[in-house]
């Protein structure tokens, strides 16, 4: 029997979607994939249904770069509502504790300083983390007690913006991988000795994808024409802006597309060494990873070793 024909069209690139509230990340991927009639799609980091903002959606060959987007730094704006703590640490959960205590802006500033840098953070019970093969949020919804271990996470920047009212406080933060804003809200309230939950959350950046470049699902749907929809996608290599890029010629590109390694000229090796930095992807050392490009277009991701470029992910456009 012949190979089963894939449904849809070969669409490649990233859509910087401004996800609306109440929509799950999976639903957003499904909707945009249907609009583009794309063969393959995935996203670069889950957003809670109540959260809005940047949800990078990968199509076709861009899905090969998803692990690098998952590792990227992220920025958020969020609001704490004081007075009620909920089971999910956001407004979706059930209220389990209340308090009339309200912190002052000065107290909030002082407490926020304690969370800068690398910290130990316990994820929320209502999260996608797996416990004995099951999602923590499924266990929590079934009423089971879920014990999640603290993990090392990084808070690069944190700013207390203002208090629109005594009940509300607005923040902006930049974080590393695996950081939960709802856990930060829980821990800030605990330090302040008050009850509270996350009332609003918006993601404003994921790596090289920024809020200013995003398109709402409503506007994306309004475009209608499939070719114009595809024109909204950014190139696959956009997700790899912080990875050392190596300019190669047509012959070298041909070899890489065949899965063969190539010998790098000395100046390319030196250029890679200058830009190389520590990087972990999928739990493995990726500090030797570089992006080979022909005429500015991505050809392959690979490792630079002993003056050679060994392809590990080849892009087939």
Cα separation, 40 vs 9, whole angstroms: 9
Catalytic residue chosen out of the listed positions 48, 167, 242, 285: 48
Model pTM greater than 0.75? yes
Cα separation, 287 vs 36, whole angstroms: 35
Q: How confident is the model at residue 125 (pLDDT cuts 50, 70, 90)?
A: confident
Largest CA distance in the chain: 71
- DSSP secondary structure letters along 9-68: B---EEEEEEEPTT--HHHHHHHHHHHHTBS-EEESS---TT-EEEEEEEEGGGGGGHHH
The reported pLDDT for the residue numbered 217 is 97
Counting Cβ atoms within 10 Å, is residue 98 exposed (0-12), middle (13-18) or buried (19+)?
A: exposed
The reported pLDDT for the residue numbered 239 is 95
Q: How confident is the model at residue 6 (pLDDT cuts 50, 70, 90)?
A: confident
Q: How confident is the model at residue 136 (pLDDT cuts 50, 70, 90)?
A: low
Paired strand residues for 203? 53, 76
Please report where in the chains the tokens 């800030």 appear, as a residue: 188
The reported pLDDT for the residue numbered 131 is 64
Residues 6+ apart with CB under 8 A from 24: 49
Mean pLDDT of 260-264: 97
Q: How many CB atoms lie within 10 A of CB 284?
A: 9
Domain boundaries along the sequence of the chain: 13-71+209-238, 74-206, 243-314
Question: What length is written for the chain?
Answer: 317
CATH topology of domain 243-314: 2.30.130
pLDDT in tens, 78-103: 999 999 999 999 999 999 999 999 99
CATH superfamily, domain at 13-71+209-238: Pseudouridine synthase (3.30.2350.10)
Mean pLDDT of 147-160: 92
Mean pLDDT of 45-60: 95
Mean predicted lDDT score pLDDT of the chain: 93
Sign of the C-alpha dihedral computed for residues 167, 170, 175 and 177 taken in this order? positive
Asked whether 53 and 47 are in contact (CB, 8 A), the reply is yes
The reported pLDDT for the residue numbered 294 is 96
The reported pLDDT for the residue numbered 124 is 86
Mean pLDDT of 259-269: 96
Q: Which two tokens stand for residue 115?
A: 């969370």
48 is catalytic: yes
CATH topology of domain 74-206: Pseudouridine synthase (3.30.2350)
Kindly compute the dihedral angle of the four CA atoms of residues 130, 84, 113, 47, in this order, to the nearest 10 degrees: 40
Q: How confident is the model at residue 201 (pLDDT cuts 50, 70, 90)?
A: very high
Q: How many CB atoms lie within 10 A of CB 49?
A: 18
């Amino acid at each position: 029997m012949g190979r089963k024909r894939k449904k849809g069209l070969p669409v490649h690139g990233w859509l910087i979607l401004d996800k609306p509230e109440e929509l799950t990340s999976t639903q957003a991927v499904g909707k945009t994939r249907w609009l583009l009639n794309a063969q393959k799609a995935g996203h670069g980091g889950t957003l809670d249904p109540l959260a809005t903002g940047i949800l990078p959606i990968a199509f076709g060959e861009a899905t090969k770069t998803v692990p690098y987007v998952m590792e990227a730094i992220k920025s958020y704006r969020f609001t704490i509502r004081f007075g009620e703590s909920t089971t999910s640490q956001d407004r979706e959960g059930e209220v389990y504790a209340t308090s009339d205590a309200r912190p002052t802006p000065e107290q909030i500033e002082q407490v926020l300083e304690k969370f800068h840098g690398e910290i130990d953070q316990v994820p929320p019970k209502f999260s996608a983390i797996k416990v004995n093969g099951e999602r923590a949020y499924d266990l929590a919804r079934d009423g089971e007690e879920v014990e999640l271990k603290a993990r090392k996470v990084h808070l690069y920047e944190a700013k207390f913006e203002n208090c629109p009212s005594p009940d509300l406080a607005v923040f902006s933060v930049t974080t590393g991988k695996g950081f939960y804003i709802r856990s930060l809200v829980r821990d800030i309230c605990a330090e302040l000795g008050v009850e509270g939950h996350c009332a609003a959350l918006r993601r404003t950046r994921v790596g090289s994808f920024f809020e200013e470049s995003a398109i709402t699902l409503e506007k994306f749907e309004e475009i209608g024409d499939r070719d114009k929809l595809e024109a909204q996608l950014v190139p696959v290599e956009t997700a790899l802006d912080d990875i050392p890029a190596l300019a190669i010629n047509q012959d070298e590109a041909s070899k890489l597309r065949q899965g063969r390694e190539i010998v790098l000229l000395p100046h390319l090796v030196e250029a890679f060494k200058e830009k190389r930095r520590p990087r972990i992807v999928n739990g493995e050392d990726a500090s030797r990873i570089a992006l080979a490009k022909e005429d500015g277009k991505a050809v392959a991701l690979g490792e630079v070793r002993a003056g050679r470029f060994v392809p590990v992910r080849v892009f087939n456009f």
